[in-house]
Amino acid sequence: MSDSANFPPRGLFLVIEGIDGTGKSTQAQRLAEWLRERGRGVVTSREPTDGPWGRKLRESAATGRLSPEDELEYFLRDRRQHVEEVIAPALAAGKVVILDRYYFSTMAYQGARGFDPAEIRRRNEEFAPVPDLLLVLDLEVDAALERIGARGDTANEFEKRDSLQKCREVFLSLAGEAFVRVISTNGTPDEVGAAIREAVGGVL
Ligand code: TYD
């Protein structure tokens, strides 16, 4: 893209998504380092955030889950604040923003709790900017469960398997869109990193 087409200055918005166990946070850090070595100003962040709504969501994971409605509402509030305070200002300052999870996780996880993913997307895109590139890190659910140390044989883990399967389907349903790349995480972290850098190289 030429400078004039990119005016006013706007950074690059990269989002990494995928079910638990796909190595998102490791790859987000590696990608940030790679871009910094190339002289780019990089802001990394994650959702849920460490802000008040994000903290409530993380606490609820330990103390008992919120109702589906409250949980969805808290994710939306957390994200609204994240966009206003972190994402939009960094993009306006011309930075590369790398997020570990964003509203596609809400489509997937709250979708798995019974909400319509398309409706969740619509509500988010009213206030949350669409990324320039969405990297979906993909892995079969059984392999993902193994990586996070769950064998899937207790009732709880069986439920988790079922829910991650639905999440994976929602992530994969995005595959045809122009800004989305699905990256298999069957390979080594180095191989996954190389595939990510190749995809990001295409939008730099
Ligand atoms: P994550 O940061 O990946 O977990 P941790 O750091 O504890 O390993 O995400 C926390 C959980 O929040 C994860 O199971 C996915 C879930 N989540 C949603 O349900 N909806 C959302 O919108 C987001 C961003 C995350």
Q: Kindly indicate the confidence band of residue 61, based on its pLDDT and cuts at 50, 70 and 90.
A: confident
| pLDDT tens digit sequence for 113-141 | 999 999 999 999 999 999 999 999 999 99
State what percent of residues in the chain have pLDDT above 90: 85
Average pLDDT score, the chain: 93
Residue 152: what pLDDT?
A: 63
CA gap 90, 95 in Å, rounded: 5
pLDDT at position 108 over 80: yes
Alpha-helical segments (H) within 4-67: 24-37, 52-63
Please choose from 46, 71, 78, 109 the residue to mutate so as to test ligand 1's pocket, defined by most ligand atoms within 8 A of CB: 109
- Among residues 60, 20, 61, the alpha carbon closest in space to that of 168 is found at 20
Residue 156: what pLDDT?
A: 79
pLDDT at position 80 over 50: yes
Alpha-helical segments (H) within the chain: 24-37, 52-63, 68-82, 88-92, 103-105, 111-112, 117-125, 141-147, 155-173, 189-201
pLDDT at position 62 over 80: no
The protein residue whose alpha carbon is closest to atom 8 in ligand 1 is 20
Measured from the CA of 46, which atom of ligand 1 is nearest?
A: 2
**Length, in residues, of the chain:** 204
CA gap 171, 173 in Å, rounded: 5
| pLDDT tens digit sequence for 4-19 | 454 556 799 999 999 9
Number of separate domains in the chain: 1
Domain that holds residue 100: 3-201
CATH number at residue 94: 3.40.50.300
Please count the other Cβ atoms lying within 10 Å of the Cβ belonging to residue 13: 23
Please choose from 101, 106, 134 the residue to mutate so as to test ligand 1's pocket, defined by most ligand atoms within 8 A of CB: 101
Element (H, E) at 100: strand 96-100
